[in-house]
Structure 1
């Protein structure tokens, strides 16, 4: 595992690959703060004719909402470059499961999931509709439910757990899907519980694992990207801040991997002998590709 620290190393790295897949949170930004020189580094890749894709486990936003965020943060992005776990979940239900039109999905999560399901013509309920104080005495089964999807939900409640539990416990044949299994996510300079942690109580109560986990490091998103755009894995690089999702995702798919130290992973963990997941390369920050090569834009 090599650390890229010089302009020569960074320029050689860029020239070695045609396609760059990015995680977002912890790599490009934290919350609403873009890391220094990231905009310039992204522009450098585009100037060199590189293809760029954004692959995020965050299911709280739809692709359209993500595109709005890119615009607000003044980072160039296009809708067909964005792949989120919410989009992957909707695509999985439509194209892999062939989800029946007479069934609907109960969501424990936020608006990104419902918006992506709607875009694929899949009926859903729950999600933000179930925010706020509710009585578990009002919970009844619903014969139209065909699946329960869980993602990150900042308004998680016992009511939502009980409702999801009821649908899955009463009918074990119903699908149980996770948008991703991230244990934490970075925000405001710290870490908070992620979608995987939120799903744990339901998994424990049901004594059942999810039927599918759609986010990184699962390969369904990568397989879809590689096939859709005819990408050569050997000429592609996955850039992320998490070893157990981003880097494992790229390693499994035969991509070169680059770990940045602006998010979850710290250098001591990355280099630890006890760490089973190794990146091909690592760098302090993705912005180094601009700052260390003299590619920063004038003020």
Structure 2
């Protein structure tokens, strides 16, 4: 909603509007899952599209809510898929979580408990913080017996919850105890995505399901650092000399990617190669309308050649 008025319905991207969009934008922000790839399979036409935009002098930034990998690990994934992307062009929610602590002067003497995977742990380490938990605690179990007392580290000053394929009852209890019993302990969520394309064939439970479990246990809402929160954009703008009005957010989710773009003043382009379908976009109950929509990023190449 802009100026108190409902957003107009999204327009199908055409050759004319594609050219107009390119003329009005200096940088493209791309989501990854469902836009660049699905699981470990590159979506058709992505390399050609990125090459075209780079040759036109456009700045490319890749903004993903998936916290399983660090920026370094994502750069390796891009390369393995045949796409050259520099680490500095990648902004992950795992990186955002570490930077949130850094920018808020989190004490390096405090520890961070991680309900998530190696991406969060690596970004914490690179930022100078001690994180623990992660996949290792996915191997631990709890035996609920009479008089059992669960010990936790009283020096934990923050709990970060992200996508975690090793999520279990042990982690949920450890995180809950830290948040409830350690004075001032921060509860940080990388994102609240309910689902995600973890493989090329299906949607899987997203980080939002793990966040919801911990949030329900502690009866407290987390600080969200990924899309659609503006924190990631604020940090991005400090890293690049860009204006949001000259940027376009390209994503496959209305409630994260498109809302993120709208909340921060970007133009928005929805691609139907991931989570959101055309019927969902056009459903009368949907209140989030991108500026344009198209089937995939590869459509840009065909439309600009017309």
Give the TM-score normalised by structure 2.
0.91
**More displaced stretch, 286-295 vs 222-231:** 286-295
> How much has 1:292 moved relative to structure 2?
4.1
Say whether residues 1:158 and 2:169 are aligned partners.
yes
> How much has 1:163 moved relative to structure 2?
1.1
5 Å-filtered alignment, 1:3-42, equals 3-5=12-14, 7-42=15-50
Asked if structure 1 preserves the Cα contact closer than 8 Å seen for 2:154 and 2:182, the reply is no
Q: Distance in 2 between matches of 1:22 and 1:101?
A: 32
Q: SS at 2:203's partner residue?
A: strand
For 1:144, the equivalent position in structure 2 comes to 155
Aligned with 1:254 (options 246, 265, 279): 265
Listed one character per residue, the Cα deviations across residues 193-222 of structure 1 (whole Å, up to 9, x for unaligned) are 111111212211211111x11100000111
Aligned with 2:134 (options 127, 136, 139): 127
Say whether residues 1:188 and 2:200 are aligned partners.
yes
Q: Distance in 1 between matches of 2:204 and 2:155?
A: 34
Q: Distance in 2 between matches of 1:86 and 1:73?
A: 21
Count, aligned residues: 292
5 Å-filtered alignment, 1:1-299, equals 1-5=10-14, 7-96=15-104, 98-135=105-142, 139-171=150-182, 173-186=184-197, 187-210=199-222, 212-294=223-305
Asked if structure 1 preserves the Cα contact closer than 8 Å seen for 2:155 and 2:182, the reply is no
Asked if structure 2 preserves the Cα contact closer than 8 Å seen for 1:152 and 1:195, the reply is yes
Q: Distance in 1 between matches of 2:100 and 2:49?
A: 33
> How much has 1:149 moved relative to structure 2?
0.7
Listed one character per residue, the Cα deviations across residues 66-110 of structure 1 (whole Å, up to 9, x for unaligned) are 0000101111211111000000000000112x1112110000100
Give the TM-score normalised by structure 1.
0.94
**More displaced stretch, 30-39 vs 240-249:** 30-39
What RMSD, in angstroms, separates the aligned Cα atoms of the two structures? 1.5
Instruction: Structure 1 unaligned segments of length 5 or more: list them.
Output: none
- Which stretches of structure 1, 4 residues or longer, exceed 3 Å deviation after superposition? 136-139, 291-295
> How much has 1:172 moved relative to structure 2?
5.2
Q: Distance in 1 between matches of 2:132 and 2:150?
A: 14
Asked if structure 2 preserves the Cα contact closer than 8 Å seen for 1:23 and 1:54, the reply is yes
Q: Distance in 2 between matches of 1:16 and 1:167?
A: 48
